[in-house]
Amino acid sequence: MKMLINVPETVVADALRGMAAAHPELTVDVENRVVVRKDAPVAGKVGLVSGGGSGHEPLHGGFVGPGMLSAACPGEVFTSPVPDQMLRAAAAVDSGAGVLFIVKNYTGDVLNFDMAAELAEDEGIQVAKVLVNDDVAVTDSLYTAGRRGTGATLYVEKIAGAAADEGQPLERVAALAKQVNENSRSFGVALSAVTTPAKGSPTFDLPAGELELGIGIHGEPGRERRPMMTSGEIADFAVGAILDDLTPRNPVLVLVNGMGATPLLELYGFNAEVQRVLAERGVPVARVLVGNYVTSLDMAGASVTLCQVDEELLRLYDAPVSTPGLRWGM
């Protein structure tokens, strides 16, 4: 496989060096693998820290900035960051108002963030945690006990980030983050396998003419494998799986997310089919976001995330944000 890299061992460090050069508004510690808002800590503001394995960009480092995360900890490709990174990030953003850890439900992330929270509290940093587990495709997977954390991570980070920037207290920011997660569901589809730099070849076999329904963001198996389907058929299946698990009483935010190798031409066409299904099911749509936000390196495919919102959640979602990966209102 051809990749635009030097050697697999330096992929993450090289990317962080490039990120630092492109975004002087961030403090990028390449050696210790921490990305922090340049103005952190902000007096009176709750710090938001997230992180996970690299390969899902712009998640999480690309979501650091005003209106979203205070800091992010990138691990090696598809590998959890370590507690020392998380502790360093928490210390860098804590202003005395506390720190919220936003954790996708993968075993390594959960264990390491739990350990980091204990270490932070030993140093006098108040920490709250929220677990993102929005994926309806499978209950358990290769990396997870319970549901996986996927596209809803963007909504949790955005809405909690807006609340934190308003100066809301840690308990309220954490409660809003949990509310967003509880109101969100996701489902993903793979059209091709993912290739990691270390392996240099596809990590699983997906024959030509087939697709995997319910895939995870690391290439974990989904619900089933089928012959290739049309965009409309995939939308029927994915949105149907979400609405089997979530009955929205309010309008929804819609994320049509590319997995890394699917062009916007296809994603916008897929979004048209997602909107058709939602209209047929009588689900009102408040906002739509289309693009590559929670990716899986070079995997072709897409995921759909729905998050039902009330007036407060929608107001916080619409609040200004300025990060490398998400920006509006500023």
Would you name the residues annotated as active-site residues?
Answer: 56, 218
**Structure tokens that stand for 114 in this block:** 């739990």
SS3 76: strand
Would you give the distance in Å from CA 30 to the centre of its chain?
Answer: 21
What is the rounded CA–CA span in Å between residue 141 and residue 38? 37
Beta bridge partners of 54: 77
Amino acid present at 83: P
Nearest CA-CA partner of 247 in 308, 297, 290, 305 = 308
The per-residue b/e assignment along 126-153, b for 16 or more CB within 10 angstroms, e otherwise, is bbbbbbbbbbbbbeebebbeebbbbbbb
Alpha-carbon distances of 283 from 103, 232, 273, rounded to whole Å: 29, 17, 14
Nearest CA-CA partner of 270 in 295, 238, 246 = 238
What is the rounded CA–CA span in Å between residue 141 and residue 137? 10
Nearest CA-CA partner of 55 in 89, 86, 19, 11 = 11
What is the rounded CA–CA span in Å between residue 31 and residue 292? 27
**Structure tokens that stand for 38 in this block:** 């340049």
